[in-house]
Amino acid sequence: MVSGPKLIFRILMISSLVLFATSCTFIKKKLDLSGIDDISEAILRDYQVEDRQELENYLGEKGYQYDTNEGDLEDIEVSKLDTWTLDRPIIQEKIRFPSTLKKENGSADTAIFYLYRKGELKHQKVILWIPGFGVSDFAFRFIKKFFNHELNAGYAVLFYNIPYHLERLEKNREMGEGLFTGRVKHNLETIRHLLYEIRTAVKYLNHQEIASISGWGGSIGGALLWLSSTTIEYDHLTLMIPIVDWNTIIFHKNMQEVVKLINSNGIPENLLRSSYNSISPMFATSKTHPNRIQILYARFDQLTPESKILEFASKWRINQVHSYPESHASILINDRLYKDYLRFLEKIASKK
């Protein structure tokens, strides 16, 4: 959703953080606020009116919550991975299958995952890795640190190429554009499609007779991972800067114009809140034991405030919580983040 001068500004800001690891809180918060502004502008620019009754009917049907559909294994294609490759002697593959999500032009989309493994997949422990909004090739220089930690700890890694990003980027669109819109029902439906893709990928792994499936999710990826854990029994979970309550973003002060527009077109505030409650981890019960869940969060996060993260952790009795003097956008530059994650993997291994 970022283009032109804004994109250049964002890259310069992030590069400065990476090169100098600045402790300037103002800059870190500004990165987050700029991202929220971009989302707001994109929604206002492409806003489409939706029918209130249709939204209420969808919520009455419980939306994604009771949908456990999975794709057919015979539709899955496995090929050699030619992007996001690691410089180490392992097997690196791309997994593709038909998605229930439609592209902007109405054609069928394709779900894409990247698999990194040592040897045969059978009996291996696997970590499903779900990134956040705006994930790009630039982010790979940080993300591969997690991959290497996981591979060194004896896990295979399955990375989810979420829609509207990387290989699934829509033509003439910015990274992430289309994933989140001003149409509430559309957004709820998108979550349902993404959970279908996740369940299908996990079904494929289980068919390969893996030893266990665990998960790592960042930002929106954290929300998706948690929602998927209401039906999938993960061995352990790591949530980094997770979106635990969508309403903290929807009703952010920088989204006021969006809320006003939605309200003025027939969707009242209470319906808007209940809609996003239906896809918020704050209100969904995970099958993973809280003692096997880790949260890594940023104290200056402008999308999910520290108070909301702590409320979430307290509600679900999660005690392994680590904070960093970063914002949502800058957390990956903090070296302690990777060390805390590695210690968590070691702790999980010691409990076996």
pLDDT band at 352 (very low <50, low <70, confident <90, very high): low
pLDDT band at 5 (very low <50, low <70, confident <90, very high): very low
The whole-number average pLDDT for the span 3-11 is 43
pLDDT band at 23 (very low <50, low <70, confident <90, very high): low
Residue 197 has pLDDT above 60, yes or no: yes
The whole-number average pLDDT for the span 276-287 is 97
The whole-number average pLDDT for the span 249-278 is 96
Residue 148 has pLDDT above 60, yes or no: yes
Q: Which pairing describes strands 91-102 and 108-117: parallel, antiparallel, or unpaired? A: antiparallel
- What domains can be seen in the chain, in order of their start residue? 4-350 (3.40.50.1820)
Per-residue pLDDT tens for 54-85? 999 999 987 777 788 999 999 999 999 999 99
Residue 11 has pLDDT above 50, yes or no: no
Letter string b/e over residues 215-253, b meaning 16 or more CB atoms within 10 A of that residue's CB: bbbbbbbbbbbbbbbbbbebbbbbbbbbbbbbbbbbbbe
Higher-pLDDT residue of 23 and 49 is 49
Q: What is the dihedral of CA 127, 131, 135, 140, to 10 degrees?
A: -30
3-state secondary structure of 305: coil
Provide φ and ψ at 234, rounded to 5°: -80, 145
Exposure of 264 in the CB half-sphere (CA atoms within 13 A): 9
**DSSP character at residue 77:** E
- Could you write out the DSSP letters of every residue in 141-170? HHHHHHHHHHHHTTEEEEEEE-TTSGGGPP
The burial of 142, by beta-carbon neighbours within 10 Å (0-12 exposed, 13-18 middle, 19 or more buried), is given as: middle
Residue 13 has pLDDT above 60, yes or no: no
Using an 8 Å Cβ cutoff, are 220 and 308 in contact? no
Amino acid symbol at 268: P
Using an 8 Å Cβ cutoff, are 102 and 108 in contact? yes
As a whole number, the mean pLDDT across the chain is 91
pLDDT band at 175 (very low <50, low <70, confident <90, very high): confident
Give the C-alpha separation, 251 to 248, whole Å.
6
- Could you write out the DSSP letters of every residue in 251-301? TSGGGHHHHHHHHHTT--HHHHHHHHHTT-GGG---SS-GGGEEEEEETT-
Letter string b/e over residues 52-67, b meaning 16 or more CB atoms within 10 A of that residue's CB: eeebeebbeeebbbee
Using an 8 Å Cβ cutoff, are 236 and 211 in contact? no
* Strand order, beta sheet including 155-161: 77-80, 91-102, 108-117, 155-161, 125-130, 212-218, 237-240, 293-298, 320-324
